[in-house]
Structure 1
Amino acid sequence: MASDGMESYSEASRRRKGMKQTRLSWRMAAGLTATVLALYASPVMAGNEAEVAEHLIELVKIGRGVLSEQMKNINDPAKADKGFTGDYMASQVVERFKKTTKLDLRIPNVVPQANLYLALVQAEKEVVDEAQPIINKPGISFKGFIPALFARRVGEQFYKKSGVRMKLTGIDYRNANNKPDDFEAEVLRMFNDPRHPKGQSYVRNTMVDGKPVLRMMDPEYAGPTCLGCHGSPKGDRDVTGMKKEGWKEGELAGAISVVLPLK
């Protein structure tokens, strides 16, 4: 790597080549699924809904992971064009989803509920594309485009496309949109109980607004990357200007919540 945060010609060339290949991969998938993507809003058939919710959660986690890997790049004040686009995000999500689930969204006709999964991938792509002006703005060392913000915007976009609600929630929520409802607050208390197996999700079929839904929550725990903003000393201001919560590594940080309409 060249000094002062600048890439060498060969490094930049390899990065552009890799991103070009992933963009082409995603565009091929998008072309194959044009008809499928027109069918976003379709309730899930009973019987496989828990697996569908698990896969949706996995897609969000993968997207956040891709963004986390890009934080140093995004916040580099010496660079303008970061090369981190929506196409790159989508391609990485599709590729990593295949590795973890063996489901290839580039061949949607053989993947049950591919329309729903691709709607979420599309939402992740759109959120990154919409953030391009701030991502590529030079001279700023912290852009504020963090994984939590990404996940919230993806959840909002995905709901518009599919009618499926997804959000990050927790007792120590910072954004009002992440405030737990009664169901979520109950499950968060259960997750925080030392008798609950760590990492075990919770799922229940219930009714919301008179309609059948599956609700799933997947617990998340504070890792090293969380503590820069949410750790100690409690009450100190983090880089965003918010007060730190005093979390410790391994403690319950919150959960990903899914509300999936059923047929």
Structure 2
Amino acid sequence: MNPAVLVVALVVAVGSAFAQSADQSADQSAAGQGGLLFGRQAYAGLTGNHGTVTVGRQHDLDTIALTEAGAPFKGGTGRQVDNSINVDGRQVRGVSAGASWGADARSSTGSGNRALGVSVGVEHGPLTIRAAHQNRNVAPVAPAMPMGNRLDAKNSILAANLRFGSATAYAAYSVTRGLGSTPLFNPDDPYSASMASTLSTDSRDVLVGLALPCGPATLLASYIRKNDRDLANRDANQFAVGASYSLTRRTDFYASYSRITNRDGAGYAGPRGAGASALNLGMRHGF
């Protein structure tokens, strides 16, 4: 039996779930994520009494954990997995769990870019915690590198937020290993993401942030420290401030300013060894 059919059969369907999300550069009139029409996400699925099952191009579970629990800017575009199946169980006594599986149809090898992830979440009063692990196979490297000819990407994250009064404090800690595993949490700007020009294969990332509602507006701030543990030691820091203004329940405007400082030849969102700043203005609308 097709795994997707089997998983859907486990859910008593009472509704549908779908999303299409895209990036569009206003200054260049070009689509983000390599020109894909709906590069952020494009999925459909079923939701029921026992959880939700979705199929398509979706965020990996590390990105979802960061977005739901650890980042005041909601994680930006994050990382996506093509042809993926995500299963999210319903919350029971404040505890929930999820799993995902995906495969890149463009890979020439049976396991190339195959991704598997698991997550767990806990909500208790004002505290929300999410933990997730994602393992993504990478096609064999030729010739073999010092670490071997496979550099599978392994990402683990622990993210949390705590509400006190009207404000919310955020924190996240990430362990990343392998080729293609280490985009900065929010490089270039808090609402976007990109890869460094020189990849790290072993890093530890820390994020702290704050969201403070002021009427229909919300003030945002975050700080990120990327600790590269490769021999090159290409570290990076980012500080970001911003605000969002809710016009309606589905529409809001936002603005942000961020500054990245690269060290020892790191190239996150700018020339190697240099810093980069970004100013962003935008509008979001949910249909």
TM-score, with structure 2 as normaliser: 0.27
Instruction: From the two aligned structures, give the one with the greater helix fraction.
Output: 1
TM-score, with structure 1 as normaliser: 0.28
- Which of structures 1 and 2 has the larger relative contact order (alpha carbons within 8 angstroms, sep 6+)? 1
